[in-house]
Amino acid sequence: MSAEPIIQVTGLHKWFAMLHVLSDISLDVEPREVVCIIGRSGSGKSTLLRCINFLEEPSAGKITVDKLVVEAGNKGRKHRKLVHEIRLKTGMVFQEFNLFPHMSVLENVAEGPITVKKMDRSKAVEIAEMNLDRVGLLFKKDEYPNRLSGGQKQRVAIARALAMEPKVMLFDEPTSALDPELIGEVLNVMKKLAEEGTTMLVVTHEMAFAREVADRVVVMAEGEIIEQGKPVDVFNSPRDSRTQALIERYRSGGAK
Amino acid sequence: MTTDNLKGPSSVIDPHQGMGEALVALQQRRRLIQGLKVSAVWIGLIILVTAAMLMLHISPSYMVQHYDVILQGAGTTLYVSLVSITVATLLALFGSIARLSSNSIAQGISGFYVSLIRGTPLLIQIYVIYLGLPQIGEQLNQLGFPFIGRLFILDAVPAGILALSLNYGAYMTEIFRAGLQSISYGQREAAIALGMTPLQVMRRVVLPQAIRIIIPDVGNQFIAMQKDSALVSVMGVWEITYIANRYARRDSKYMEMFIVAATAYWILTIISSWLQSRLEKRMAQAYER
């Protein structure tokens, strides 16, 4: 871990009105690293992820993505430009997929390159097809999202994010809205991306995935990072009692 | 939750196929009979009303002789309504985007517009535009700005169109706003996360989806407008109501002329409703393939 971290979160706080959702969070993600954030619902893990690409405006602290530094609380054109550039460097996958229902699968994936990067249509289509192939859904390119299963929708959403060629992929509980039998196909795609060396920050309830694929597991509770380390260490010998409870619940079958 | 698997029909033949077919046929027959019964009630009502009219010495021959002047008026009614709904739609589009924007000037202007127009009667708005504005125009003329002054003195038809457009634009702003807001926040977030600017999010993601939701309401507004356009008769625009009124007074045939006028509106709106339902059906198929 000698390279400069690609994501650097420093002293991050987030308040929703009088609710202190994130409290003094600091977290680094190295290039090619896969980091899984686990924790109970309401622990702030999704908010942390959403602060990194400014879907949530942090209340205090500093976010660095690939050498771009943004301080919380700034306003104005320069700030907006920096935030925009950070969004170009991060690809986001949502729990609810959020595919554009009025566009075909191919159009969904080509939309970013065409509208945001002003790329030639033919070149964008080429990139879109390549990324659909990566998630194994090139044969569905002319379908509309409402004709796809949940797992297929999420794989298209992953391809849509990949088509922007981001430096980091952010996954916000990508399998939580899926029927159990559809979770596997999405996790397999994510595993493949990890093996290809994609830098990934994954908020998840899938302990088995975290254990198998992550380089590092970060445990959150009550808006703080309470523990982090190699999956083996965190899962086999958790130090914090809340981590123990989390893993215990997962072992006893209550994965959520 | 959203995982209806749309696999093709299975190739295995169901031995109970006939049962389903019989049930479908029964349902169709019931629906047909119900439709016939409802039609019979309509016809009965029309006969009843007609009989009552004849007993009250309403002259059908007068009505037949004068339906063609009403038909001319229907052309004007339709023209005024079509132009006004187009302008109102544009006003509503910008108005709703302004209402939802974070820009305080845009928010202020659009909120003021909607509140003022929705808070005052259409008839007063027509009077202000047709009779009130020329007063300002005259003053501007006297002050030496005839070019600007002329803009405030409107003929009856443009004044009517302006009044209807402004009025419906305000109501439709609220309809459009609801339509834009009905697009889930996740859609916006996905577009923002891709790096789209607010304008791109609106143009590429929110508007195309919202339009599908808004179109039926625009149809409803168009139907309502055809009837509200009767109010521009106060300015002497030669549309259905004005013509009916004129002939009715001249020949003291009030009931006759207003029945013809009412029928003309009725037929116009029936045609519009039919067109609207066809459009809606086509829109519903848009995402299918």
A98–B2: do the CB atoms touch at under 8 Å? Answer: no
Instruction: Write down the pLDDT at residue A148.
Output: 95
A98–B186: do the CB atoms touch at under 8 Å? Answer: yes
A149 part of contact set with chain B, CB < 8 Å: yes
Residue by residue, DSSP assigns B182-193 as TS-HHHHHHHHH
**Which A-chain residues 45-104 have CB contacts (< 8 A) with chain B?**
53, 55, 84, 87-88, 90-92, 94, 96, 98-102, 104
- Is residue A74 a contact partner of residue A228, using CB atoms and an 8 Å limit? no
Q: Which residues of B touch A (CB under 8 A)?
A: 1-3, 5-6, 184, 186-187, 189-197, 200, 204-205, 208-209, 212, 286-289
Measured between CA atoms, the residue of chain B closest to residue A49 is B193
B195–A164: do the CB atoms touch at under 8 Å? Answer: yes
Successive 10-residue mean pLDDT values, chain B, 289 residues: 45 81 93 96 94 86 87 91 96 94 94 96 94 90 84 89 96 95 96 95 94 90 93 89 92 90 93 90 67
Q: Which residues of B112-142 are buried (b: 16+ CB within 10 A; e: fewer)?
A: ebbeebeeeebeebbbebbeebbeebeebbe
Which of B282, B214, B6, B203 is closest to A145 using CA atoms? B6
Q: What is the H or E stretch that residue A19 is in?
A: strand A19-29
CA dihedral of residues A98, A104, A109, A113 (deg, nearest 10): -110
- Is residue A213 a contact partner of residue A34, using CB atoms and an 8 Å limit? yes
Distant-in-sequence, close-in-space partners of A169: CB < 8 Å, separation ≥ 6? A90, A91, A92, A93, A158, A161, A162, A193, A198, A199, A200, A201
- The packing angle between helices B60-100 and B156-181, to 10°, is 50
Instruction: Write down the pLDDT at residue A108.
Output: 97
A116–B195: do the CB atoms touch at under 8 Å? Answer: yes
Per residue in A75-110, pLDDT tens? 889 999 999 999 999 999 999 999 999 999 999 999
Which range, of A134-138, A249-253, B102-106, B121-125, averages the lowest pLDDT?
Answer: A249-253
A116–B194: do the CB atoms touch at under 8 Å? Answer: yes
- Chain B residue numbers touching A182 (CB-CB < 8 A): 3
Positive or negative torsion for Cα B250, B254, B259, B265: positive
Instruction: State the best of A86, A98, A169 to mutate against chain B, taking most chain B CBs within 10 Å.
Output: A98
In degrees and rounded to multiples of 5, residue A99 shows phi and psi of: -70, 155
Residues A5 and A167: their CA atoms lie apart, in Å, by: 11
Measured between CA atoms, the residue of chain A closest to residue B288 is A144
Residues A247 and A173: their CA atoms lie apart, in Å, by: 17
- Chain A residue numbers touching B208 (CB-CB < 8 A): 102
Q: How far is the alpha carbon of A251 from chain B, nearest alpha carbon, in Å?
A: 26
B190–A92: do the CB atoms touch at under 8 Å? Answer: yes
A4 part of contact set with chain B, CB < 8 Å: no
**Confidence check on the interface: ipTM exceeds 0.90, yes or no:** yes
Tell me, rounded to whole angstroms, the distance of Cα A207 from its chain centroid.
Answer: 16
Positive or negative torsion for Cα B192, B195, B199, B203: negative
- CA distances (Å), B59 to each of B52, B55, B255, in order? 12, 10, 9
Residues A33 and B22: their CA atoms lie apart, in Å, by: 62
Instruction: Write down the pLDDT at residue B282.
Output: 81
Q: How far is the alpha carbon of B284 from chain A, nearest alpha carbon, in Å?
A: 12
Farthest-apart Cα atoms in chain A, separation: 55
Rounded mean pLDDT of A183-187? 95
Instruction: Write down the pLDDT at residue B1.
Output: 39
A119 part of contact set with chain B, CB < 8 Å: no
B284: three-class secondary structure by DSSP: helix
Share of chain A above pLDDT 70, in %: 98
Q: How far is the alpha carbon of B191 from chain A, nearest alpha carbon, in Å?
A: 8
Length of chain B: 289
Measured between CA atoms, the residue of chain B closest to residue A170 is B193
Q: How far is the alpha carbon of B230 from chain A, nearest alpha carbon, in Å?
A: 39
Per residue in A110-121, pLDDT tens? 999 999 999 999
Residues A50 and A92: their CA atoms lie apart, in Å, by: 9
- Is residue A6 a contact partner of residue A31, using CB atoms and an 8 Å limit? yes
Instruction: Write down the pLDDT at residue B289.
Output: 47
- List A38's β-bridge partners, or say none: A219
- Chain A residue numbers touching B285 (CB-CB < 8 A): none
Which of A173, A161, A166 is closest to A202 using CA atoms? A173
Q: How confident is the model at residue A170 (pLDDT cuts 50, 70, 90)?
A: very high
Long-range contact set of residues B129-134: C-beta below 8 Å, sequence gap at least 24? B129/B154, B129/B159, B129/B162, B129/B163, B129/B166, B130/B154, B130/B156, B130/B159, B130/B160, B130/B163, B130/B235, B133/B159
Say if residue A231's pLDDT is above 90.
yes
B214: three-class secondary structure by DSSP: helix
Which token pair is B257?
């002329």
Q: How far is the alpha carbon of B199 from chain A, nearest alpha carbon, in Å?
A: 11
Angle at Cα B268 formed by Cα B264 and Cα B272, nearest 5°? 170
Say if residue A218's pLDDT is above 90.
yes
Q: What is the mean pLDDT of chain A?
A: 93
Residue with tokens 């690809």: A91
A53–B187: do the CB atoms touch at under 8 Å? Answer: no
- Chain B residue numbers touching A161 (CB-CB < 8 A): 193-194
Residue A98, amino acid: N
A88–B195: do the CB atoms touch at under 8 Å? Answer: yes
A102–B209: do the CB atoms touch at under 8 Å? Answer: yes
Residues B149 and B134: their CA atoms lie apart, in Å, by: 8
Measured between CA atoms, the residue of chain B closest to residue A145 is B287
Instruction: Write down the pLDDT at residue A83.
Output: 95
- Chain B residue numbers touching A179 (CB-CB < 8 A): 3
Instruction: Write down the pLDDT at residue A253.
Output: 65
A205 part of contact set with chain B, CB < 8 Å: no
Residues A71 and A13: their CA atoms lie apart, in Å, by: 11
Which range, of A11-20, A247-256, B153-162, averages the lowest pLDDT?
Answer: A247-256
Instruction: Write down the pLDDT at residue A254.
Output: 52
B1–A150: do the CB atoms touch at under 8 Å? Answer: yes
The pTM assigned to this predicted structure is 0.83
Rounded mean pLDDT of A203-221? 95
Per residue in B49-82, pLDDT tens? 989 888 888 888 888 888 888 888 899 999 999 9
DSSP state of A94: -
Distant-in-sequence, close-in-space partners of B26: CB < 8 Å, separation ≥ 6? none
Q: Which residues of B145-183 are buried (b: 16+ CB within 10 A; e: fewer)?
A: eeeebeebbbebbebbbbbbbbbbbbbbbebbbebbeeb
Size of interface A-B (CB pairs under 8 A): 77
Measured between CA atoms, the residue of chain B closest to residue A85 is B195
Specify burial of residue B194 (Cβ count, 10 A radius: 0-12, 13-18, 19+).
buried
Which token pair is B139?
């003053």
Tell me, rounded to whole angstroms, the distance of Cα B97 from its chain centroid.
Answer: 20
- Is residue B239 a contact partner of residue B73, using CB atoms and an 8 Å limit? yes
Query: What is the 3 state secondary structure string of B221-258?
Result: HHHHHHHHHHHHHHHCCCCHHHHHHHHHHHHCCHHHHH
Distant-in-sequence, close-in-space partners of A35: CB < 8 Å, separation ≥ 6? A27, A29, A200, A201, A202, A214, A215, A216, A217, A218
Strands A199-203 and A168-172: parallel
